[in-house]
Amino acid sequence: MAKTQLNVRVDESTARAARERALALGMSINRYIEELVRHDSGEAGRTFVDAAADFMKQYEAVFAEEFGGAETTSARRRSPRREARR
């Protein structure tokens, strides 16, 4: 893959922290920054999926009560609770 140069300015403590972390991980600072960006760019998708899973877990009982378990669609349409709301 072709490489593109990217110049960024950070304060000295951030630069020092990046150098130290890259060294501790046994990689170049360039690779360290690449890994951070790759991780961060994939994070939004994982965050969404995690949040959706948490939402479903929190409201599982509500969904089960409203829509039932393995009922068919036509059975849900005829449920007494739905009929009472009409």
Q: What is the 3-state secondary structure (H, E, C) of 11-46?
A: CHHHHHHHHHHHHHHCCCHHHHHHHHHHHHHHHHHH
Tokens standing for residue 7: 């110049």
- Which pLDDT does position 38 carry in this prediction? 83
Single pTM value for the model: 0.49
pLDDT at 72: 46
Q: How far is CA 53 from the centre of its chain?
A: 10
- pLDDT at residue number 18: 95
Q: Tell me: the pLDDT tens digits for 28-86?
A: 999 999 888 888 777 667 777 888 888 888 888 888 888 876 554 444 455 555 555 55
Which pLDDT score, from 0 to 100, does residue 81 have? 54
Higher pLDDT, 39 or 9: 9
Which pLDDT does position 47 carry in this prediction?
Answer: 75
